[in-house]
Every structure is written in structure tokens, then in C-alpha cells.
Structure 1
Amino acid sequence: MPEVDYIIVGGGSAGCVLAARLSEDAGVSVLLLEAGGRDKSFLFHWPAGFAKMTKGIASWGWSTVPQKHMQGRKIWFTQAKVIGGGSSINAQIYTRGNALDYDEWAVEHGCEGWAYRDILPYFKRAESNERFNDDYHGIEGPLGVSMPRATLPVCDAFIRAGQEYGMPYNPDFNGKAQRGVGYYQLTQRNARRSSAAVAYLNGAEQRPNLTVWTGAQATRINAEKGRAVSVDLYRGGTRTVVRARREIILASGAIGTPRLLMLSGIGPADHLRSVGIDVVHDLPGVGGNLQDHIDLCAIAELTGPFSYDGWDRPHKTMWAGLQYLLFKNGPAAASLFETGAFWYADETARSPDIQFHLGQGSGIEKGIVKINGAGITLNSAFMRPRSRGTVRLSGSDPFAAPLIDPNYWSDPYDREMGLKGLEMAREILAQPALSKFVRKEVLPGPDVRTRDSLFDYACKMAKTDHHPVGTCRMGKDAMAVVTPELEVHGMAGLRVCDASIMPRINSSNTNAPTIMIGEKAADLILGKPAPKPALFSFERNDACRFAVA
């Protein structure tokens, strides 16, 4: 039986960070297991390749169960199946959320060491920012963070429209304030995607103490006398068992990690028995507390060729590829979602609760309508949903798809705030600054005016924002799965280090926090002291003043 010190299950954003950081110690051996393949295609590295990703490339091909609060609709649920995970297929948007998100983890959920003042040094450690070098940003980390290189004039018009709507211009959503409208920072370096695989793993993989197996699907964690000791996996159709001398670290994300725990007999006992799995450790919180952001979009037809619609025609695609290869600009250099905003649907919210993403085209993501002519898409998403869902097994077959139930809009507040965000998106698109570009609203369209008709439209068009978290949450209560040190309650030698540990979803995209979790987890596993916390105070509406202690 092969044996290593650390086995990392899942080569996504957190898994790549962990593999790189743990293998910095030449005295330990590390094995990284990834069920998907390598990121060899140029689509993983050219920014605009994102447009292909949500449509099925390098994903598991899963959908949710019928959503009973959304007229029974099943929603396509993209989960990455490739080295680098979500960071290899996402829209490259680098946002961390709000400082208060992490303070709630520490104060309300008892997760000491996870307040914003504690985790900001890990965000900075990861980051190599091409523009900002200040109290909020780092410039020496492996992860490239850049400003957009392929925005069109309609993006500037959107930013002016946001200001006409009442939002201030914000040059840095990850700085002292989150609220406002502006350009996103992107996980790119030299106009190429800076995934966790590229940023962390490519260099680390040359170390003799790090082994990476792709096409390796873990099917079970084996335990002896209350300790996780080995992993069953299939690679190339052959079953292999690998033993861990020190720890097994799960980093397969908010769907994959609870799925593997339950297949291993670790989870809610009643559910495990119902699908024919022997209970090894009754841990009721596994697979619960699922949270996700859900997008609602407004689409406008433009007065001329002012977006990237039409560049998917063969001759234009060839020209865009040549332009990118020669000059590192043009349509292929666009992540397609380079501008956005954070604002308030609930005026009493403690910080922005709606996020907008402006898409430089229509039909960019799976399930979103592609219009005739040129268009733009404005996505809106409610950032702090109260609804909670589950991940469950459909049976004992380790290769069967899990039952994913985000339980969207089970709390009516989420539905109302989501619809309010959609109304706000329509109002922003109608501002004077965009009148030169926007001919008319196509969707929801002029016939959709009542709240009932807006709800019907939302149920048909809603899509996941690809941000599932929380299914192995950290804490100290009976439903917590891991401790604040990320150790699985009641099971030695086993940790969870990915977005599933979040007690509550952060108020933005989730990839940057997942990389932060990987950075902090590496210190916890290696027993390194935490960086010195930062000191800061808050003003109303999320603006914070910061100074290094």
C-alpha cells in the first residue's frame, strides 16, 4: 500500500494551495488527488474561455433536485472537474466579500481566528496585485491579480449609469469599502488566467516530495479506531488504497467533500442507513447548511456592435485568437464580466447585499438567452441568503451523482431581495449614461411589470452563481462538522479545508476566500504561528479604516 504523510483529496483552489504550501517542507511527502484532468486546453488559460466552461467543459454535469420554491425547476449546477477546480473555469473575478462577513464567523459562530483582522494577512500573502500595494493588498504572492485589459466603452457607460443611479465610484471593492460601482480585479497575470493550478501548483509540482494524480477519484476514507488512515480511489479503472501517516485533508468543495464523507460512513446516521451505508461516525451536520448565490439577469439590446456578441462566428473567432496571440488584447483577453457593483436591496442591511456583474454580451453562460444582434447582460444576486439546503446521497454507488438541493428561496426574504435586485438592474440599464448604447430591454421585457410576472420570469431564468459553501461548517455546536482548526469533530487525522467550512456565505464571489482558506489551513496543519492580526475600526455602511498593528 503506498504511504505518504499528507493526502489531499481535491485539486481545486484550496487543494492546490495546500499542496504547494505543505510541500515547502522538504521533510514531508504530499499526494494530491484530483478526479478531473489536466488544464491543457488553451480555453483554461485564455480569459474568454470562461464562456465555454459553464456549458459543460471540465465539469461534473450535475443539476439540482427540483426546487420547490421555484416552480419545481431543476437548475444546472456547474462544479469543476479539472486541476485548479473553480479557479480554472470561473470568470476570474477577484472579490473577497465584506469584512463583517468574517467577523460574524468569529463572533456569531465561535470561530476564533477567522475574524477579518485575522484572515486579511492570508489574503495578502496569496496575492500579487499589479495595481494596489497597500494595507489591503499584497504584491509578492503567487496569485496574479490584475485590472481588466479588454473592456469596451459600454463598461465605462455602465459605471456612469451606476453613479446616476446613486452609487459612488469604487476603485477597489477589496479595499476600505465594498459599496459602489467600478471595475473588478481579475485573477489574471499577463492577460492569462491565474488559476490556483497555474499560480501554486505549476512550480511546486517540480518538488520530489509532491505527487499529483489526476483522473483519481476518491471513493472512501477508511478509519481505524476513530482515526482516518487511508483513501480508496479509482485511477484508470484500477482501485488503489493510499495510506496517510499524518493527515487526510479533504478539499473537494461544498458538494464533493460532504459526498465523500457520507460515502465513507461519516455523516447523518439516519440518512446513511437509508441509502445502505454503514455508519462509521454519526456527524449530523455533514451535507447540511448548503448556501449559494442565485443570479437573476436583465438583458438589453444595443444600438450597434458595442458588445462581444457575434465574435463566436468562425472567421471572427480566428481573428480574435490571432489578436490575442500577437497583442494580448481583444475579445479573447476578456473575462466578459469586468465591471460590476455592490449595493443595497434592503436599506437597513449592515453592508451591501446585492452584487451586479455586467456581461459584455448575451448568452455568455449556460441557460442565459442569446439575443439577435448585440446585447449586454446585467446579473444581480442577493448576497446573504437565509435559505439553507442540503447535499445528500442518492445511494451507495460512489460514482452516482449526489442529490443537490440548495432549497433556493425557502425563506421568502431571499425571494423578495432577489426580485428587488432584478428591479434595480433594470433601473440601472435605463439610466441616461447608457442611452447611447441601449436600444431597449429585451428581458424581462416591457410586459413583465407585476411582481407575479417578475417571479415567473425569475423562476424560468434564475441560475446558480457557482458559489456553493457551508456543507461542512466549522464551529463548536452539535451541527458543526469541523473545529476552527478545521479538524473533523470526533475523527482524528481528518480535516476539511475548502469552501464547505464556511459557517455563512461571504458577500461576493467565493474563489478568493477559498484560496485564503487554503493558505490559513496550511499554517494550521503545519503548526505555524498565525500572522499578526490587523487592527481596524468600522464606519457605517461597511467603510473601514485600517492600520497595521
Structure 2
Amino acid sequence: MQPAPRASQVDGLTSLSFPLHCTAKHGEPVLATRLSELSTIQVLVIEAGEDLMKDARVIIPALAPTLTGTSADWATQTSSQLTFSQSQASLRGRQLFHPLGRTLGGSSALNSHTFTPTSKANVDAWASLGNDGWDWESFSKSIDNSYTLAKSPWKTEARGPLQLSVADEETRWPQVWREAISKLGYPVSGNPFSGQFQGALVTPESIDPDTKERSFAGSAYLSLAQSRQNLTIWTQASVDKVLFNKPIDQGDPVATGVQITRDGKTEVVRARKEVIISAGALHSPKILELSGIGDATLLRSLGIDVIVDNPHVGENLQNHPICSVTFQVSPQDGFQTIDSLVRQDPDTLASAMEAYGKDRTGPFARSGIDLMAQLPLPNLEGPKGSRELDLVLHDPKYEDRDLGKTTTAFAEAHRSFVNSILASPTGRSAEYITCPGYAVYGPDGKMTAIPPGTERYFSAAVFLSLPLSRGSVHITSSGLDIDPKYFSHPLDAEMLARHVQQLETIMNTDPFPKHLKLDGVRNPVVPPPGSLSDLDNARAFVLSSTAAAHHFTGACSMMPRETGGVVDAQLRVYGCRNLRVRDASIILIIPGASPQATVYGVAEHGARIIKSAL
């Protein structure tokens, strides 16, 4: 690594504190790699966490969960004083844990590997809200710039640094999954990179097909750039705030650098050209507010000088609510689970490690959660289904009751887009995920411990792809106030309840009943078998058991300022100069799939925009 350049030499300054899991804030190495391709500029990356790129817990795919709760995890929680409407009484005060990556490479070093792009309709909805150049035709090319899938069952010309693979079918679960989905009338083949995909598949994962090691932003991108003379990386250095000068002509304030804390000391780093924040959906708005960009009333109450008064900073926070159900597995050959591995059975661990060390095979070489489906709202067939959906979508009780700081223009556009997906028989309104083992989110948002004994399990979960609920994240005198406001929009709970019913239908569709004990032990919060066929029971289950995926987006949304935006389509922060945000926080409508692929697309797309301006 080269010595740090003098302040006057730093052209592009990327300040990061990367928040985990599928949240996938991994734009830091992508941006650093792409900007440092320009030999005429100097790039400095500031990362709050350590460099763990050679750590076995990062490298070995199955060890992804082991960094949760360590120094590589911000380990955030939602606010203790959640404010829900009366219909959400079961969620009142329930804090949810949200791991967030704090290491070089961010969440891409800890997430669950799934690499599935969102839909064409989803991305085109971004463009329709005033973001020229962010349509599917343009954006899909940026996704293609990020990955290579050499042994692909689908046609793709992508040749990017990230190495993807599709797991070999070592068990019989993929066959059972496809057969059940097919019998319900959904496709079981198709290209997930087409923008039009619907149905079931074994999803691509960010695992190198040759080495069977995690491929992530750090290893894939920085390996190309670390030797460059114009790139410097500082780890274990936290960004306190962005610094500004106010021009003599009283124009917009100009970002001139950042104040950081490193080795317990405060330092100032000056940027010759731009400061670029890429700290994720929770920490990017935090840095803006600490720098004086946000709601003036909030900033003044905390003694922060107001640089730009924009009440939309920290707003429009979105995430995927998720429900999970676990079933006992019948004793049959060919239907392995990971339960003995999770229970840390010594013989199982030794065998798994031997297989991985010898020829990169066995359970350590894969995540185990690569069976998924993206499906529409169920029971829309025929005139009766259409009439029922029409009644639900236009029922006053499912209207947005509290816009908060959301503008009417954005709320109406958001609802119109989601309605169009819900009403379409080919729309993807939920993602279904499975795991051959006991994998359940508890009421606190953490994974629950596997029951003792020798029973084996198969788990299935479903998350709502396009929730309408919008929360917020803001600084306080003692930290961060994270209030996602799950189910604050009443349509979300209704739609997720119907998808939970479909989840149970899938698991009761042949051939699953031959391989599961459907009347056996389930995770404790699930009602008795058959109960979820009653919609009221499904609604109650959703409200009492929902956790959340680690997929935060928004909070620095990219759209016109009058509509609720924080940055424009060039990622420039409104009201000042030389400052951009480029990460998942700019995504104004959450991706309708696990967001890793989409965030890599944002990273590549943003890098191209910024490079063209330097």
C-alpha cells in the first residue's frame, strides 16, 4: 500500500462506514477501483472497519453468519419507541436487530451470496420519477459490468470482476422445489437476468466456481486496484462529518473534505475535486446530518449548524418484511440438511472441513439458501380473483394513513407502481427463500437457536418484494433513531398474509408432503397445520411474527428535490457542490428482490456517472 497522499493531492474522497447481510452496501471498492482507472486523479477510501479479506469467516461461504455480532458488524437495532397505528399493536415496542457490515468490502463480505437482479418494471419506475439515464436498458448494462457467470444455464454476456456460480445439485431438494412450484402453474425455468423473470430457480451466488470461496467487492474489485499508485485505503478510520466552505458570492456551499477520527485522533482531509459518501442506507444519511444537511429543526436541536435544509434526508427508508416457517423432515436418503452442522456436531464439522480442504466440496462450499422463487400475488385467476383484488386495492382501509414527510406526489407514484405489480399475473410481488435446515427469524429479528436433539428441518420464508411502508433514520444525541415503520401502510400486511398462505400451499403441494412431517414440530410462533388457510389467521401471524430482511434502501433518495429527493440523477446532493452519495440509500423504490445484484448495479452505474464528470 502506498503512503497516504497529502491533502492537496486527494481528488476523489470516498467516505464509508459500510453497513451487512443482504443490505449489500459494497460500493466502496467498486467506486475506488473504477475511479482509480483514471491515472490523473488520486483516490482515498476511508473505511471504519478492518480489512478482513483473508479471514476464513469471510472466505468460506457457509461461515457467512459467524461475523454477526463481532467487530465487523455495526449490530444496529430499530428504535425502542416504535410508533405504529392501532392495527399494529402487536409490533409496538418490539425492537428488531439488523446486522450491518463494518469491514472493507462492507456487506458484500458478510451477506448471504444471493445474486438476483430486480425487474425491468422496478428500475423503469425509478427513471419515471425524474431520473434520466436510470432506465432498465442503461442500468442492466451496469449490472453486467459487475459480474461473470462462466458456467451459466442462462445466456449472459457479462464479464465483470465478481465471480458467480450456480450450485451443483448435491441434494434432491431442488427437484422437489421445482416440481411443487410447477404444479401450482408457475415457471421453473427462465433467465433471472432478463428483467422479466418469474418463477422458481436455483439462484446464482457470489461464490467463485473454481475456488469455492466468497467473491465480493473487496476480493473481486480491490484485487484489480490495490497496487495502483493513485489509490490509498485507510481502514479503522471513521468519518465524523463533511466540511464546507461558503463562497464569497453566497452561492451553494462547497464540500472541501472530511473530518475523521483515526487512531483516536481527529484529522482533516481535504479533497481537490469531490467527496463521495458510500456508507449505506443507514449511515449515509447519518453523515449528511452530522455535516449539517437535513431537517433544519432537527439539526438545530442538536446544536449542528445548518448547511442545507432538506427535511427528506433520512426519510423514505424501506425494507422487506419477512415471515418464516419450519417443517420437520421425514427420514429419507438424498434429502440432507445442515442441522447437524448448525448443532456443531464434531463428526459433521470434521467431515465438512475435510471435504472443503481437500477438494472444495461439501456444505462449507455453498450457502445452502439458493433455492428461491419470485411469484405474483396468488389467486388472481378468473373474474372472481380480479374482482377481489380490485376491491382490496381500492378499499379505503388500505389507504396510506400517515404520509409523514413523504410528498403526495411520491406517495401517489409509489402506490400506483406497486398496484400495477400486484394486479399483474406476471408481477413479482414476493420472494420465497428456502433452507435445508432450521433457519428462523425470531421476534427480535435474530436467527433463533436450533432445537436440541437429532430432528432435521426444512425452512421456508417469504418477504414482500415491494412494501409501501416508509420509515426513517435520523441522528440523536446518543446515536441513531431507526424507525422502519413496518406495516405502517396497511396494504403491506394484507399482501404479505396472502403470500404466507401461498407459502403454506407450496409446502403442502406434491412432492413436499412425501418428505416433510407437515403435522410435526414447527417454529413456536407458527399456528397449527392448516390454520393459515384462514386469512384472518394469516394476518394475525404476519403481525405477530414478522421480522425483516437486512435490505435497507432509501433515506437519501434519488429524485427531484420537490418530490422528496436528496440527490439528483447525477448523485449530487441538493443545495451544495462537490458532494455526492452513491449507495443503496439513493434507491427510491426498494428492489423487488434480494438487493445484492441491484446494489452492484448502482455502484457501477454511479461510478460511470462520476467518472464522466471528472
TM-score relative to the length of structure 1: 0.91
- 2:612 corresponds in structure 1 to 527
- Aligned residue number for residue 209 of structure 1: 230
Task: Say whether 1:29 aligns with 2:42.
Answer: yes
State the partner residue of 1:492: 577
Q: Which has the higher helix share?
A: 2
- Find the residue that maps to 1:472 and give its secondary structure: coil
One-letter amino acid of the structure 2 residue matched with residue 259 of structure 1 = K
Distance 1:134 1:462, change over 3 A: closer
Partners of 2:182 and 2:462 lie apart in 1 by 17
| From 434, 438, 448, the counterpart of 1:358 | 434
Name the CA distance, whole Å, in 2 between partners of 1:521 and 1:33.
Answer: 18
Equivalent position to 2:138, from 118, 122, 127: 118
1:32 CA displacement:
0.6
Q: C-alpha offsets along residues 12-51 of structure 1, whole Å, 9 cap, x if unaligned?
A: 4111100000001111110111111112321111111123
Give the match for residue 254 of structure 1.
Answer: 281
Which aligned pairs between 1:112-151 and structure 2 lie closer than 5 A? 112-132=132-152, 137-149=156-168, 151=170
Higher Cα Rg, which structure: 2
Residue identity in the other structure for 2:463: A
**Where do 5+ consecutive residues of structure 1 fail to align?**
530-549
Change beyond 3 A, Cα 1:345–1:520: same
Partner of 2:389: none
Cα distance per residue 1:296-316 (max 9 Å; x no partner): 111111013731111132332
> What is the Cα deviation at residue 361 of structure 1?
1.2
Q: Aligned equivalents of 1:55 and 1:31: distance in 2? A: 28
1:194 correspondence with 2:194: no
Does the CA contact (< 8 Å) of 2:152 and 2:165 recur in 1?
no
How far off its partner does 1:2 sit?
A: 2.9
Question: What do residues 310-358 of structure 1 show as CA deviations (whole Å, max 9, x unaligned)?
Answer: 1132332222112111121111112121110011126443411010111
Q: Specify which of 423, 442, 449 is matched with residue 349 of structure 1.
A: 423
Q: Distance in 2 between matches of 1:160 and 1:354?
A: 19
SS at match of 1:242: strand
Tell me the equivalent position of 1:538: none
Deviation per residue, 1:233-264 (Å, 9 max, x gap) = 11221211111100000100000100110011
- Which residue is equivalent to 2:303? 276
Measured after TM superposition, the shift of residue 64 of structure 1 is 0.6
Whether 2:492 is the aligned partner of 1:462: answer no
CA distance in 2 between partners of 1:525 and 1:437 (Å)? 53
Query: Hey, what does 1:383 align to over in structure 2?
Result: 465
**Aligned-partner residue type, residue 356 of structure 1:** Y
Matched, 1:394 2:476: yes
- Secondary structure of the equivalent of 1:273? helix
1:7 pairs with one of 13, 20, 23: 13
SS for the counterpart of 1:424 is helix
Alignment of 1:280-291 (within 5 A): 280-291=307-318
Shift of 1:165: 2.4
What corresponds to 1:535 in structure 2? none
Q: Is the 8 A contact 2:118 2:195 kept in 1?
A: no
Deviates more, 1:174-183 or 1:507-516: 174-183
| Offset, 1:120 | 1.4
What is the distance in 2 between the residues matched to 1:323 and 1:134? 29
| Per-residue deviation, 1:363 | 3.2
**Conservation of the 8 A alpha-carbon contact between 1:45 and 1:192:** yes
CA contact (8 A) 1:20 1:201 kept: yes
Q: 1:281 to 1:333 in 2, by over 3 A?
A: same
| 8 Å contact kept, 2:295–2:312 | yes
Matched AA of 1:175: S
- Matches of 1:81 and 1:437, distance apart in 2: 40
Q: Secondary structure at the match of 1:193?
A: coil
How far the C-alpha of 1:131 sits from its partner, in A, is: 3.0
SS at match of 1:310: helix
State TM-score, norm by structure 2.
0.81
Output the CA distance in 2 between the equivalents of 1:369 and 1:452: 29
User: Identity of counterpart residues, as a percentage?
Assistant: 28
Change (3 A) 1:516 1:253: same
Aligned 1:170-249 pairs, distance under 5 A: 170-175=189-194, 177-189=196-208, 190=210, 191-225=212-246, 226-249=253-276
1:207 aligns to what SS in structure 2?
A: coil
TM-fit CA distance, 1:57: 6.4
Give, in whole Å, the separation in 2 of the partners of 1:302 and 1:55: 30
Computed over aligned residues only, the root mean square deviation of the Cα atoms, in angstroms, reads 2.1
| 1:310 paired residue number | 340
Paired residues of 1:71 and 1:459 also in contact (CA < 8 A): no
Q: CA–CA distance in 2 between the matches of 1:356 and 1:381?
A: 7
Q: Alignment partner of 2:145: what SS?
A: helix
Q: Does 1:446 align with 2:528?
A: yes
Partner of 2:184: 165
Q: Which has the higher mean CA deviation after the structures are superposed, 14-23 or 453-462?
A: 453-462
Q: Distance in 2 between matches of 1:274 and 1:150?
A: 57
Amino acid of the residue matched to residue 549 of structure 2?
A: D
Structure 1 residues 277 and 363, CA, compared in 2 at 3 Å: closer, same or farther?
same
Shift of 1:453: 4.5
Distance, in Å, in 2 between the alignment partners of 1:488 and 1:121 is 25
Moved more, 4-13 or 257-266: 4-13
CA positional deviation for 1:428:
0.9
- Give the alignment partner of residue 369 of structure 2, picking from 329, 337, 346: 337
Whichever residue aligns with residue 481 of structure 2, its letter is L
TM-superposed deviation, 1:457: 3.6
1:289 counterpart SS class: strand
Provide structure 2 residue ranges, at least 5 long, that are not aligned to the other structure.
1-5, 19-24, 247-252, 381-421
User: Cα offset for 1:469?
Assistant: 0.6
The aligned amino acid for 1:210 is L
Match of 1:92 in 2: 113
**AA partner of residue 7 (structure 2):** P
Q: Where do 1:29-48 residues align within 5 Å?
A: 29-39=42-52, 40-48=54-62
Does residue 59 of the first structure (1) align with residue 65 of the second (2)? no
Contact 1:7 1:30 in 2 (8 A): yes
Is 1:412 the counterpart of 2:497 in the alignment?
A: no
Question: Aligned residue for 1:50?
Answer: 64
- C-alpha distance in 2, partners of 1:21/1:76? 33
With 173-182 and 332-341 compared, the bigger mean Cα shift is at 173-182
Map of 1:153 onto structure 2: 172
Deviation at 1:411, TM superposition (A): 0.7
Instruction: Give, in angstroms, the shift of residue 267 of structure 1.
Output: 0.6
